[in-house]
Amino acid sequence: MGVNATAWWRSAVIYQIYPRSFADGNGDGIGDLAGVRARLGHLAALGVDAIWFSPWYASPQADAGYDVADYRAIDPVFGTLVEAEELIRQAHALGIRVVVDVVPNHCSSEHPWFSEAVHSGPGSTARDLFWFRDGRGEAGELPPNDWQSIFGGPAWTRVRDGQWYLHLFDPGQPDLNWEHPKVREEFEDVLRFWLDRGADGIRIDSAALLMKDGELGDFDHAEPPVPHPYMDRDEVHDVYRAWRAIVDGYPEPRALIGELWLPDPERFAAYLRPDELHTAFNFGFLGCAWRAKALRAVVDATLAVHAPVDAPATWVLSNHDVPRHVTRYGREDTTFTLEHRQLGVPTDRALGLRRARAALLLTLALPGSVYLYQGEELGLEEVEDIPDALRQDPMFVRTNGANLGRDGCRVPLPWSGGAPPFGFSPPGAGRDPWLPQPAAWRDRTVEAQTGDPDSMLELYRRALACRRSQPELGDGPFAWLPGADPDVLAFTRGGRGALACVLNLSTAPVGLPAGTVLLASGPLDGAHLPPDTAVWLRT
Ligand code: NOJ
């Protein structure tokens, strides 16, 4: 198939690089752009169409770079702007597109705007760019309202002169005031800055949170009021209409990709109208139980939601915010929601791997684009035994460890060798990887898996190559095969229905439809498909 050059985002396989943990070029134990540049060959061999880089900007790293101090500079820990430009060129030369992550809801407390706001004092115009308010209580000692930070604790922090500022995430991430024209102008300029440097797409962080109800009243309810005081407010759509106009002004197609955690499908689809975002992450699919009925329902709901706005669906199983899916699928309860992170429960790794292999064939066969998170091609599991003292996620710190947070899916990748740092850092590096790698990862390195036909890595390579070669895969028609067992997902792709994907979610082998098997996620049992196994067939 290859990527459709005019609307590449409709079919692309996009690989997420979390720069801290991908590859360390300079030996300081933290991944960087030099490391990525040296390892681009891995991504070309894997066969991905694009890379999405989690934030690489200048940042105090209070939330691993999602706290941006300068949207136009690369953090020295990762490299320089010149290296980023070179990396974009190098990726393009390999036929790989580049998506950058823009974080508009908040900046860093070390952003010059915020420093100026803190120093300028109450009532200053510098404070108008944020949400500064007096506190409640006799001496203003209580936060202005009862909002809670998504990372735990109050969403307000007090500055020395007594005022409070709003931060829906960490205190190091003050929320910007999107009613202010200067904020809008600044981000429109930031978009152009990266588009001018060759970015093919923009991933928009916390895309539904930008606008706030200026009343800043208490929730005061068991359920948040409607409209929600800061989530998915109607006014946010104006922002994305303006962004779409900017993106559409470029001759080569560029895509806007929203990070939207929204339960209401129609509200979600509103962001994908033709004059707004091109695509958004499908978190309903990510969190879905490994059950045929639930998966069928989520696929149907996804396609139904996207059809009226003619936007392509996306399929994603893992990212830097959620427990790795090999681990989730090895559990009794395979669901995930932001409130239900489920760490530290018994896990059957073999089962998780088998299901993850089948899930790969499922996602790559569904219509639309697919996101892969670095390390899933190696079958990496969530690392749960990180010592508390080494954990860095503010979610862990702000909940006093009640929430283990996201460090477990952010452990540096194993590339080669038999002991940490497994080639993540160069030989003789002065520092250990920023999070410890499990000893068992000696069997999960790129080196160990390359050439082993049964490895996860070789399955990913075969599956991506096969997806490219089959014109029906990616964007395009989809239909369930009639008459399948209720515990089996079976569908065809393409108008003539010549390509089928069958996934057995029952506990017994099932008969396969007639046809030639192009690819299987695991060994077949003659003409039968074993449980937790998927195939692609030409019928
Ligand atoms: C979503 C990002 O994916 C997450 O990692 C981050 O902590 C929050 N947005 C805040 O920027």
Is residue 397 within 8 A of residue 408, CB to CB? The reply is no
CATH 3.90.400.10 assigned to domain 112-166? The reply is yes
> Residue 73's pLDDT band (boundaries 50, 70, 90)?
very high
Ligand 1 pocket (Cβ < 6 Å) reads: 63, 66, 103, 169, 205-206, 259, 320-321
Mutating to test ligand 1, I would choose from 17, 169, 403 the residue with most ligand atoms within 8 A of its C-beta, which is 169
Find the largest Cα–Cα distance for the chain: 77
Domain coordinates in residue numbering, the chain:
5-104+181-449, 112-166, 477-538
Could you say which of 2.60.40.1180, 3.40.50.150, 3.40.50.2300, 3.40.50.970 is the CATH number of the domain covering 477-538?
A: 2.60.40.1180
Q: What is the 3-state secondary structure (H, E, C) of 303-325?
A: HHHHHHHCCCCEEECCCCCCCCH
Q: 159: burial class by Cβ within 10 Å (0-12, 13-18, 19+)?
A: middle
Distance CA 187, CA 345 (A): 42
Hey, whose CA ends up nearest to atom 2 of ligand 1?
205
Provide the 10 A C-beta neighbour count for residue 335: 15
Instruction: Read off the tokens for 33.
Output: 């752009």
Exposure letters 68-97 (e unless 16+ CB within 10 A, then b): bbebeebbebbbebebbeebbeebeeeebb
Could you say which of 3.55.40.20, 3.20.20.80, 3.40.50.2300, 3.90.1150.10 is the CATH number of the domain covering 5-104+181-449?
A: 3.20.20.80
Instruction: Give residue 120 CA to ligand 1 midpoint distance, Å.
Output: 29
Sign of CA dihedral 280, 284, 287, 288: negative
Distance CA 266, CA 183 (A): 28
> Residue 337's pLDDT band (boundaries 50, 70, 90)?
confident
Rounded percentage of the chain residues whose pLDDT exceeds 90: 91
Distance CA 447, CA 45 (A): 13
Residue 129, φ and ψ in degrees, nearest 5: -80, -10
Hey, whose CA ends up nearest to atom 6 of ligand 1?
66
Residues 66-74: what's their mean pLDDT?
98
Instruction: Give residue 535 CA to ligand 1 midpoint distance, Å.
Output: 35
Q: Which range, of 219-233, 371-385, 394-408, 413-427, averages the lowest pLDDT? A: 219-233
Residues 439-449: what's their mean pLDDT?
98
Res. 2: pLDDT tops 80: no
The angle that helices 236-248 and 181-196 make with each other, rounded to 10 degrees, is 30
